[in-house]
Amino acid sequence: MNMPYNYIFNELVADEDDILGQLAYAAYKRQKIEFIQAFREKNGIDPQDGDLAPFHDISNGLSQLGVYRTQAAKLVRDFSEAALTTEVDGLRRFYSVKANNEIRSARPGFWKGVAQSLIGSGMFALLIGCFVFFTWSLKQGPRQVIEQVFDVVIVDAESSLKTASAEEPSF
């Protein structure tokens, strides 16, 4: 007995770009292979076309077509989740390593930090010293500051003439 052509492929696959439909058809074929293997184990022979009639009746029902589509959608969803999880984990590891490397390269080493601190402290002390000197010199006046800092006596021209004339012996 020859079975008439089964149109389930046309029921499940809308066009050649219908990946979900093709996966649904693969689910149908997997179930058909399982049915044939179970028949072979039970009866010890391969099924004839008539033996497949009950399977075709059940598998071509609207509810079973929906089950195939649901299985295909679950397969796509599980595959997508697994692929995305793998991609996310890879990106997470990549950017974690990259961030750690960036942080290490941006953070100065211990001795470099010590040197920066010493230079900064020295510059601060120098700045404070200049500030104190400037404040002190404002109170003293420039003449007294120069005399005290350089340990000299500044004599202006008028006072030097008076001093020189006062020191000259009179005859």
Are 100 and 122 contained in the same domain?
no
Q: Residues 144-169: pLDDT tens digits?
A: 777 777 888 877 767 666 666 666 66
- DSSP result, 47-108: PPGGGGHHHHHHHTSHHHHHHHHHHHHHHHHHHHHHHHHHHHHHHHHHHHHHHHHHHHHHSP
Question: Does the model's pTM come out above 0.75?
Answer: no
Are 37 and 80 contained in the same domain?
yes
Confidence tier at 1 by pLDDT (50, 70, 90): very low
Q: How far apart are CA 144 and CA 129, in angstroms?
A: 19
Range of 42's domain?
8-106
**Percentage, residues of the chain above pLDDT 70:** 88
Q: Residues 48-87: pLDDT tens digits?
A: 988 988 898 889 888 999 999 999 999 999 999 999 999 9
Top-confidence residue, 140 or 41? 41
Give the count of domains, the chain: 2
Are 88 and 122 contained in the same domain?
no
